[in-house]
Structure 1
Amino acid sequence: GGVSGGVSGNVNGGPWVEDGGGGSHQQSTQHHQQPYHQYPPPPPPSLPPPPPPPPPTSIMAPTPKIIICGGVCLEKGPARKLLTHLAPDPKNLLAFLDRAENGTLAHQIQSLPYMGVADEVRIQVLMGRRQELSAAEVEEVDRRREEVVKWATRVGRGQGLSGKERRLSGKERRGMERRQGK
């Protein structure tokens, strides 16, 4: 009676498996079941494995920070709590986008340099984006600029204006002279 070692019967689909080419081969005794689909697919063998992701950094880490603040968002909520935690550290730079109203937290912080508590540093931030222009667009801009310069030159000499426009410009000129006391 009994079975003495080896593969017998119908184990995991039987000891024989079709290889798709019409032939068949015997499974090894070390059978590893793999899912039908693997997500994500394994990387090609020629590529090295991707590096591990960097460790997450915390906003509370003891490193200098540049904190860009809008006055209104500091009046309540998590932004206020975070700022009250980060503002006292002298290594942090607070950059305010606008001048805050009296009685607000942002106004209190902005007033610290005037009270001798902190140093004030004014920085100029320029933001813009680069826009590619075709030669035709550049020529159009130059043509319009030349037209405006010619028109302004004629207007400055009093030429090219209708009678009504000349009278209006004259009235405006006389009004300005009266206001200046001439």
Structure 2
Amino acid sequence: MARIYQLLFALCWLLGCWLAMMGVHESGHVLGGLLTGGEVARVVLHPLAISRTDLAVNPHPAIVVWAGPLIGVLLPLCLWIAARLWKWPQAALVQFFAGFCLIANGAYIAGGALEGIGDCGVMRQTGSPLWLLWSFGLVTIPAGFWLWHRLGSLRDWWQHPERTTEQSTWIMLLAVMTMVVLMACFSA
């Protein structure tokens, strides 16, 4: 039974990381838009869609488009640093999330650079050189894997399913279900 709780916790945690990463990334676009005098028309954060932020007025599209991935990696890193400094009991989960955000944002920008996928198309249209997009990925992806590597062995985690409690699994499932419902209800 411990293995089932371990697997359910891991699946919920990965889904939660994905949903939270999209939220942090889009909050960067929103913040960039508001700070540059833009007007946010809508934010799509539906759990079954790729997130996006649409601005009705966008006087500085280069800043707004870069704010998404930059805030998307810096905010989780700051949260991880705070978790370490204040010795939070769940600092390892925050570290995993920070690594997840680094890898996801880096892969998105570096991987979408040539085809101009999503934000990368706007980055290229507003003058960001290809080498800059690739450099972003070259810095963030290894940094994310470094954070994950510091968490210890995946094999060690797998061999000790008893470390994942039934209570933490149900809490994680409830948290992810809540995120999904809220995102579905309030997404534009």
How high is the TM-score relative to the length of structure 2? 0.20
Q: Which has the higher helix share?
A: 2
Larger Rg: 1
